Amino acid sequence: MGKINRRKNGFRHSPEEDVVAVTPTQASSDHLAKEKLALTQINQRKFKKAEIIYKELISEGTLNYVVFGNLAAIYGMQGRFDELIEVACKSLELNPEQPEAHYNIANALQEKGELKASIIHYNDALRLRPNYLEAYTNLGNAHKESGNLDDAIKSYKKALKIDPNIPDIHINTGNVLKMKNQLNDATTAYNNALELEPNNPEAHWNCALIMLLRGNYLDGLEKYEWRSKIKNNSAKPHALPLCTQLNDNDELKNISQLVLVTEQGLGDTLQFMRYAIALKNLGISVAMCAQPKLHNLIKTCGITPSPLTPEQTNRISEGQWMPLLSTLRYLKVTPDNPIITKPYIKTTDELNEKWANILSAEKQPIIGINWQGNPKIEKTGLHGRSLQLEAFTSIISRIDMTLVALQKGFGSEQLETCTFKNRFVSCQQLVNMTWDFLDTAAIIANCDLVITSDTAVAHLAGGMGKITWLLLHQVPDWRWGLEGDTTFWYPSMRLFRQRERGNWDEVLERVGDALEQHFASNTDSALS
């Protein structure tokens, strides 16, 4: 995961010098006073009061484009993007020469995921104001989210020509260079940010991600600790206990009671909760705060009989605590020293038997598939990790198999229009209604193979020791490294890497070949 690109300064409103009362008849001192009052309310972040004033002015027939533009900015600050677009377009009808109106519309469209339209409006803003720094920055962000990496870099470079002293723009440039697999140049960009701001946590963290991606775990994990200092970052711990956090001078041998607090996503918890076991083996009494939807699974795995919610964890005052991923640094985990590689995720005999009975009537082999992660995370360094369900079409005919979709939430709607819907298990609807990870683990246990993109399912299946084929985009998350078709994290996992950015067809062609070989060899073994 990497830094989320920030939209500099958000939505823009006009300054006081642009306030001019315009009515269908003539300038009105009353209207002018109202406009100034509304602007004061905006500056004091009293958006509701400002909105009421602007709506009064509009109902009274004002033709001042500033009123409409500022009302649009208020809507943007409140996340009311459709209303923003409507009002900003009205402002442009009154005065088409407004870079701020185009900029605000572009920001709103970008937030809605309508990237092509947002790019048009950013360019309109830049046509009207060629040195519009924020427009160049956000245009770069829009190009990046669209996958137009070269155009993103061009936009960031133009922004840096206007002002080379903004760390965020250097960081954003580094993020795109990393996506292009230009890691040395990306590191240079992050270091440029650090020259301007030596304690910039985003720059340090992104340097850490490249170190880890390259296999430098000792230095990378040290620098990875900067993640806790990033504002509004998904890497923050899910709870903040009242007890003392472990610091750099603490040694594990001196710790008797420890609370592990999860961070980031479900996959991170599934992958790294193994180290609670390692800490227990050192004689440390370990409690664990985790996402509630994982509690049943954590109990069954023997990690702790009573996982804690964030609310419970926030009240703990005894012992010490640390974020879950900091265990890697304290335990000195490296590719040569993974500590725990044996299967550590378990389900129950009862659930295994339940799903074995449900799936017993299905044509064998049964292959579990998963294709999409959280789209919000896609906007980070994991951009491009997901694929469309239809991409699996090329492998369907390679062997006579039955599929079970392990996809939950985002992306699951693709099942409805899937052209090979008939190849899924007859109980797929029941699987779709199953949300507990313990049940999902039991379904996986009854699969012959799991094929998945880089999501929580990969870690669930890998942690169970299930044969798992992981589909990776060209520059994957740091934990998968840059080369090789195996991973020290999960001995049962095989990696299928993109050779060309965004080309999943070629990856799935290799997966199809591997399927034929795998099941042919299994059949041969059974016959011999």
In a domain, 234, yes or no: no
* Inter-residue contact 258 to 286 (CB < 8 Å): yes
Task: Write the pLDDT tens digit of every residue in 95-134.
Answer: 999 999 999 999 999 999 999 999 999 999 999 999 999 9
Q: Which pLDDT belongs to residue 28?
A: 66
Label the pairing between strands 320-323 and 449-453.
unpaired
Task: Write the pLDDT tens digit of every residue in 141-195.
Answer: 999 999 999 999 999 999 999 999 999 999 999 999 999 999 999 999 999 999 9
pLDDT value at 380 more than 90: no
Q: Which pLDDT belongs to residue 523?
A: 54
Indicate if 178 and 260 belong to the same structural domain.
no
- Show which of 229, 258, 290 is a domain's final residue: 229
pLDDT value at 9 more than 50: no
Indicate if 60 and 130 belong to the same structural domain.
yes
Greater pLDDT, 36 or 521: 36
Mean pLDDT score across all residues of the chain = 90
Indicate if 178 and 251 belong to the same structural domain.
no
In a domain, 255, yes or no: yes
In a domain, 268, yes or no: yes
pLDDT value at 358 more than 50: yes
User: What are the two backbone dihedrals, phi and then psi, of residue 494, each rounded to the nearest 5 degrees?
Assistant: -120, 135
Indicate if 218 and 294 belong to the same structural domain.
no
Indicate if 197 and 298 belong to the same structural domain.
no
Indicate if 160 and 107 belong to the same structural domain.
yes
In a domain, 2, yes or no: no
Greater pLDDT, 187 or 35: 187
Closest CA to 518 of 500, 492, 497: 492
| 383-384-386 Cα angle (round to 5) | 115
- In this prediction, residue 233 has a pLDDT band, given cuts at 50, 70 and 90, of confident
* Inter-residue contact 461 to 368 (CB < 8 Å): yes
Indicate if 222 and 259 belong to the same structural domain.
no
Indicate if 186 and 217 belong to the same structural domain.
yes
DSSP 217-232: HHHHHHHHGGGGGSTT
pLDDT value at 18 more than 80: no
Averaged pLDDT for residues 237-241: 95
d(CA 390, CA 367) in angstroms, rounded, equals 16
Closest CA to 174 of 3, 419, 414: 3
HEC sequence for 83-106: HHHHHHHHHHHHCCCCHHHHHHHH
Q: Which pLDDT belongs to residue 156?
A: 98
Q: Which pLDDT belongs to residue 72?
A: 92
Query: DSSP strand E in 396-525: where?
Result: 402-405, 449-453, 468-472, 493-497
**What are the residues whose beta carbons fall under 8 Å from the beta carbon of 374, sequence distance 6 or more?**
265, 409, 410
Indicate if 358 and 476 belong to the same structural domain.
yes
- Show which of 300, 330, 360 is a domain's final residue: 330
pTM: 0.89
Q: Which pLDDT belongs to residue 527?
A: 39
Q: Which pLDDT belongs to residue 13?
A: 58
Indicate if 179 and 140 belong to the same structural domain.
yes
In a domain, 8, yes or no: no
Residue 261's domain comprises 244-330
Q: Which amino acid is at 387?
A: L
Q: Which pLDDT belongs to residue 384?
A: 83
What is the number of structural domains in the chain? 3
Indicate if 185 and 250 belong to the same structural domain.
no
In a domain, 340, yes or no: no
Say which CATH number the domain at 195 has: 1.25.40.10
d(CA 325, CA 265) in angstroms, rounded, equals 11
Q: Which amino acid is at 145?
A: E
In a domain, 238, yes or no: no
- Show which of 179, 202, 229 is a domain's final residue: 229
- In this prediction, residue 235 has a pLDDT band, given cuts at 50, 70 and 90, of confident
* Inter-residue contact 469 to 494 (CB < 8 Å): yes
Task: Write the pLDDT tens digit of every residue in 422-431.
Answer: 999 999 999 9
Q: Which pLDDT belongs to residue 4?
A: 32
Q: Which pLDDT belongs to residue 19?
A: 42
pLDDT value at 419 more than 80: yes
Averaged pLDDT for residues 481-493: 97
Say which CATH number the domain at 489 has: 3.40.50.2000
Indicate if 41 and 159 belong to the same structural domain.
yes
Greater pLDDT, 483 or 23: 483
In a domain, 236, yes or no: no
Closest CA to 167 of 122, 210, 211, 201: 201
